[in-house]
Amino acid sequence: MRYRTLFIFGTRPEAIKLCPVINHLRCRAEFEVSVCATAQHRELLDRVLAAFQVVPDFDLDAMLPGQTLTQTAARILAGLEPIILKVRPDIILVQGDTTTTLCGALAAFYQKIPVGHVEAGLRTWDSLQPFPEEMNRVLATRLASLHFAATDWAAANLTREGVDPSRVVVTGNPGIDAVLYVKEQLELGKLKGTEWQPDPTRKLIVVTAHRRESFGEGIERICSALRRLAERPDVQIVYPVHPNPNVREPVRRHLSGLPNICLLEPLDYVPFVDLMRRAWLLITDSGGIQEEGPSLGKPILVLREKTERPEAVRAGTVRLVGTDEENLLREVERLLDDPQEYERMAVIHNPYGDGRASIRIADSIVSFLKK
């Protein structure tokens, strides 16, 4: 018997984490795989799909200029119903905590189709941090039948909330499958890395910041700290700038033209992994980079007050610094000026996985559907 499996995703981070699972399931005789992209991140998503050679069977192209969260959710939910009715899947897989995640799980529930939730159990216990992701993933938990937790901590969160422990599987995070695969292919020369070349005489700091809760004063403070940091002659800062105008406008206003800062267009996934592996330090508000960086042995300063991924904080490879200008500058300079402190954080120790999450997810789906 072949199990009809429908993947639904819409953003670059979702695609990065689901593409290894899609490709693994397609190699196994037990599965008949269909892929639906909602295209919350149109250009960023398409480039990830190309890197993993995944072509969606269905594309909602759901985003319109200036669209609100409510409008986005309504378009996605309405667009998914005819696709689900056509495919008639045995299970639908969603990932993480986006609007697509919630709508995919809800659309599946309306058709009484079980949902497998990849990277389940992340929590900050603050419905507004991050917004709207925290509530999206909490609601997805209520709608899911099978929960793929990346870590024991995430699994424990689910069982504390009343999820049946037999429906929770600790798989590791498939995003680690992705980054380790790309790292290996880059080292073998089988994939092309970034065309931008850093100055080898300076310490390369890679920055990303795009989260909704940092819009406004948060991104202004981040830019002010980076501007001051760029005055040091021993650093080089590279910042691939998210296309959202709430990010792009203040970043370009504060940082354009500075000699030690290079502002890039958003990078494809493979060149960005190449950039991370060359980096001396990562500064980010990205959940995915918090997971990927430890596999590359890079210290990570997180531009958030709370994280739903505390495992790497406890392991010492990630530190929460928020968006306060003085605190961010102080923490970066501590790593720049204290070699022992840097070495304590620059340890390859990843609590999020070993590169075999896709295999565990596939095996768990088979066991679940056989029952």
CA distance 103 to 110: 10
* DSSP per-residue letters across 181-242: HHHHHHHTT-S---S----TTSEEEEEE---GGGTTHHHHHHHHHHHHHTTSTTEEEEEE--
Answer whether 14's CB lies under 8 Å from 96's CB: yes
CA distance 135 to 141: 10
Which strands form 300-302's sheet, in the order they lie side by side? 261-264, 235-240, 203-208, 281-284, 300-302, 318-320
CA distance 11 to 83: 19
Burial of 223 from C-beta contacts in 10 A (0-12 / 13-18 / 19+): buried
CA distance 285 to 26: 33
Answer whether 4's CB lies under 8 Å from 94's CB: no
Nearest CA to 183 out of 87, 56, 275, 245 is that of 275
Would you please indicate which residues are annotated as catalytic (active-site) residues?
97, 119, 133, 210, 212, 242
